């Protein structure tokens, strides 16, 4: 095994705009006019850049590569793997051959030891990886030779390729078995990706620099500055003043730029949903009649038309139109206020003098949380509360800082997001299977349905595509007969971008989006327009 040092990030001076505290960029500024650099604005700043703590779990990590990479539509292609994995007949063993021309940002070579160390750290409790529960199917990963690894699974798991987009880290970074919360990789990433992190002013911006030794070819965009501007309206105003080359915006705000001479507005399909969780232990949201009535009361199409500007579709389950072969078309809820009221009446929820229903002295009232810095989630929460009021259910809204939300997930409802276009298993299993109940944002409402559990288990255990699809249709039918959440909408993600570069390709996106996805998901292949 060769020796290797983990190098710290190198601070450099970049002529960029500090978020929220400087004047708009001068259009004649040298960097603004340099087609080899761009300045983007993002609504979200990561807490950590460590793949083992969840950074870029669906791929598209500019500092890292996985064994496989999403092709932007539906398929996975080899990345650090030099060909598609070889799977055993029983679906429990996956053998991967590695490229032999890859180096990490510190100059050392990638080999099987790095892959083994990365995946074994996921399942070793000593590292306390936040992704460990999502890799319960992994028994072990072993080195076959210097450029070959073999994954051994505890059970047949058809969706395993979706787990191979995880960024690979150097084995030396994992030499000490200690919790990853103190890892240098959290703020000083050392990967094999097309860009290196050279500056991170937390709460402000980060700067990426092209990796001159990237195995996929040196990116022609040599420097990318990402400014963190969480407020949607502020970000839109700064875009209007010309400060940025691109950003993500809620669809209705992006629509206001459609006639712009400066920016192009693009909308990307996604598997990303928004839902309202319904905690099972709450005296109101745990009532099956209330759950069914709320699903019928919500006007999903009105949300799509009014809040998404038509850029989305109604959602009744977590199974997205981005994966059409898995969708059960009959597993939907109609908008039927009269039926919702009938169900509540029959269940004993009677309207009081103030219009709010009650049963056995319990008012039909509960709280829905949303992230205070997310304007779309706030608007969806408001629309949901309005629809609930129409059937006599009172919803109190609470806009909270993200750090204040998690301790309340089991007690209070929340506007939740999720979705993965690579495979339905990671999202559907986390959202609906009882074994995932209460694990962070996985099944926070503690939903349990034995028929749903059984069908989910069977779907992930078969390698036959037609049988998998049939099991997932069973999941959806069982779920709509006994809903545990109120799924609202599937989103199209909206972006603004300058057209100074060629290489843009639309992409079907996961829930995670922003500057590492969006038009820039393949920015390493872009080039200045000539």
The residue length of the chain stands at 530
Does residue 520 form part of some domain? Answer: no
Q: Which tokens go with 354?
A: 């103030």
Contact of 250 with 371, CB cutoff 8 Å: no
Boundary (domain end) residue, out of 132, 163, 192: 192
Strands (DSSP E) found in 202-272 = 205-210, 223-228, 246-249, 264-268
Give the total number of structural domains in the chain.
Answer: 2
Residues 357 and 460 in one domain: yes
CATH of the domain at 98: 3.90.76.10
| pLDDT computed for residue 32 by the predictor | 55
| pLDDT computed for residue 524 by the predictor | 96
SS (H, E, C) 372-398: CCCHHHHHHHHHHHHHHHCCCCEEEEE
Classify the C-alpha dihedral 150-153-156-158 as positive or negative.
Answer: negative
Boundary (domain end) residue, out of 169, 192, 215: 192
Which residue pairs, CB below 8 angstroms and at least 24 apart, start in 132-140?
133/436, 133/439, 133/442, 134/57, 134/163, 134/426, 134/430, 135/163, 137/460, 138/163
Residues 165 and 294 in one domain: no
| pLDDT computed for residue 40 by the predictor | 98
- 70: which residues sit within 8 A by CB, 6+ positions away? 58, 59, 60, 76, 165, 421, 422, 507
Residues 296 and 187 in one domain: no
Q: What's the CA gap between 516 and 27, in Å, rounded?
A: 25
| pLDDT computed for residue 110 by the predictor | 98
Does residue 487 form part of some domain? Answer: yes
- 103: which residues sit within 8 A by CB, 6+ positions away? 109, 110, 192, 213, 215
The per-residue DSSP string of 2-69 comes to: -----PPPPP-----PPTTTSPPPPTT-HHHH-TTEEEEEES---S---GGGTTTTTS--TT---SEE
Residues 175 and 279 in one domain: no
How far are the Cα atoms of 78, 137, 526 from residue 164, in angstroms, in the given order? 10, 13, 25
Residues 315 and 459 in one domain: yes
| pLDDT computed for residue 514 by the predictor | 87
Tally Cβ neighbours within 10 Å of residue 77.
11
| pLDDT computed for residue 1 by the predictor | 37
Closest CA to 278 of 416, 402, 389: 416
Residues 435 and 301 in one domain: yes
Does residue 375 form part of some domain? Answer: yes
How far are the Cα atoms of 153, 257, 275 from residue 117, in angstroms, in the given order? 16, 47, 36
Residues 146 and 278 in one domain: no
State which H helix or E strand residue 302 sits in.
helix 300-307
Flag residues of the chain having pLDDT under 50: 1-31
Residues 350 and 473 in one domain: yes
| pLDDT computed for residue 373 by the predictor | 85
CATH of the domain at 303: 3.10.105.10
Residues 185 and 280 in one domain: no
Does residue 516 form part of some domain? Answer: no
Residue 166 domain boundaries? 50-192
Does residue 27 form part of some domain? Answer: no
The per-residue DSSP string of 117-165 comes to: HHHHHHH-GGG--TTGGGGTTEEEEEEEETTEEEEEESS--TTGGGGGG
Does residue 402 form part of some domain? Answer: yes
Residues 328 and 473 in one domain: yes
Strands 148-153 and 138-145: antiparallel
Q: Which tokens go with 406?
A: 């998690």
Q: Which tokens go with 349?
A: 């929820």
| pLDDT computed for residue 451 by the predictor | 98
Q: What's the CA gap between 519 and 526, in Å, rounded?
A: 10
Q: Which tokens go with 154?
A: 């505890």
Instruction: Give the chain's radius of gyration (CA, Å).
Output: 24
Boundary (domain end) residue, out of 130, 164, 192: 192
DSSP 233: H
Does residue 325 form part of some domain? Answer: yes
Q: What's the CA gap between 183 and 193, in Å, rounded?
A: 19
Residues 332 and 464 in one domain: yes
How far are the Cα atoms of 193, 272, 302, 320, 482 from residue 427, in angstroms, in the given order? 26, 10, 25, 10, 19
- State pLDDT tens for residues 166-217: 999 999 999 999 999 999 999 999 999 999 999 999 999 999 999 999 999 9
Beta bridge partners of 195: 210
Q: Taking the model in full, what pTM does it have?
A: 0.88
State which H helix or E strand residue 306 sits in.
helix 300-307
Strands 37-42 and 246-249: parallel
Residues 146 and 288 in one domain: no
Rounded to 10 deg, the angle between the 450-461 and 465-481 helix axes is 170
Does residue 40 form part of some domain? Answer: no
């Amino acid at each position: 095994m060769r020796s290797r040092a983990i190098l710290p990030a190198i601070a450099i001076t970049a002529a960029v705009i500090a978020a929220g505290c400087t004047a708009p960029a001068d259009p004649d500024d040298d960097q603004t006019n340099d087609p080899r650099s761009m300045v983007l604005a993002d609504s979200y700043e990561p807490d950590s850049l460590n793949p083992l703590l969840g950074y870029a779990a669906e791929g598209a990590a500019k500092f890292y590569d996985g064994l496989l990479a999403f092709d932007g539509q539906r398929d996975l292609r080899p990345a650090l793997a030099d060909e598609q994995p070889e799977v055993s007949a029983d679906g429990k063993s996956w053998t991967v051959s590695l490229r032999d021309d890859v180096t990490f940002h510190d100059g050392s070579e990638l080999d099987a030891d790095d892959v083994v160390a990365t995946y074994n750290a996921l399942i070793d409790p000593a590292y306390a990886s936040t992704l460990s529960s999502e890799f319960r199917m992994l028994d072990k990963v072993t080195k076959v030779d210097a450029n070959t690894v073999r994954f051994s699974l505890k059970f047949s798991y058809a969706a395993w390729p979706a787990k191979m987009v995880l960024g690979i880290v150097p084995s030396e970074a994992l030499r000490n078995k200690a919790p990853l919360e103190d890892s240098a990789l959290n703020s000083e990433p050392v990967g094999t990706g097309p860009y290196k992190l050279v500056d991170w002013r937390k709460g402000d911006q980060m700067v990426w620099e092209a990796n001159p030794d990237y195995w996929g070819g040196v990116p022609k965009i040599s420097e990318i500055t990402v400014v963190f501007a969480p407020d949607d309206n502020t970000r839109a105003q700064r875009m209007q003043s010309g400060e940025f080359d691109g950003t993500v915006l809620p669809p209705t705000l992006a629509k206001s730029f459609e006639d712009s001479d400066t920016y192009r507005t693009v909308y990307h399909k996604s598997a990303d949903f928004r839902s309202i969780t319904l905690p099972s232990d709450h005296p109101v949201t745990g009532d099956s009649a209330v759950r069914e009535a709320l699903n019928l009361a919500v006007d999903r199409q009105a949300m799509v038309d009014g809040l998404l500007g038509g850029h989305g579709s109604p959602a009744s389950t977590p199974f997205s139109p981005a994966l059409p072969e898995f969708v059960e078309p009959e597993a939907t809820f109609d908008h039927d206020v009269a039926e919702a009221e009938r169900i509540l009446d029959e269940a004993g929820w009677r309207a009081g003098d103030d219009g709010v229903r009650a049963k056995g002295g319990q008012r039909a009232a509960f709280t829905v949380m949303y992230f205070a810095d997310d304007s779309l989630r706030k608007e969806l929460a408001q629309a949901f509360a309005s629809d609930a009021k129409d059937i006599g259910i009172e919803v109190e809204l609470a806009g909270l800082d993200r750090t204040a939300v998690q301790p309340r997930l089991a007690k209070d409802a929340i506007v939740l997001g999720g979705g993965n276009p690579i495979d339905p298993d990671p999202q559907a299993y986390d959202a609906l299977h009882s074994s995932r109940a209460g694990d962070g944002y996985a099944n926070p409402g503690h939903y349990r349905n034995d028929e749903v559990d059984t069908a989910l288990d069977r779907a992930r255990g078969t390698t036959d595509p037609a049988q998998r699809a049939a099991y997932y249709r069973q999941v959806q039918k069982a779920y709509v007969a006994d809903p545990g959440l109120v799924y609202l909408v599937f989103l199209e993600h909206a972006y603004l971008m300058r057209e100074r570069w060629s290489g843009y390709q639309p992409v079907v996106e996961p829930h995670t989006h922003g500057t590492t996805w969006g038009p820039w998901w393949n920015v390493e292949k872009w080039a200045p327009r000539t």
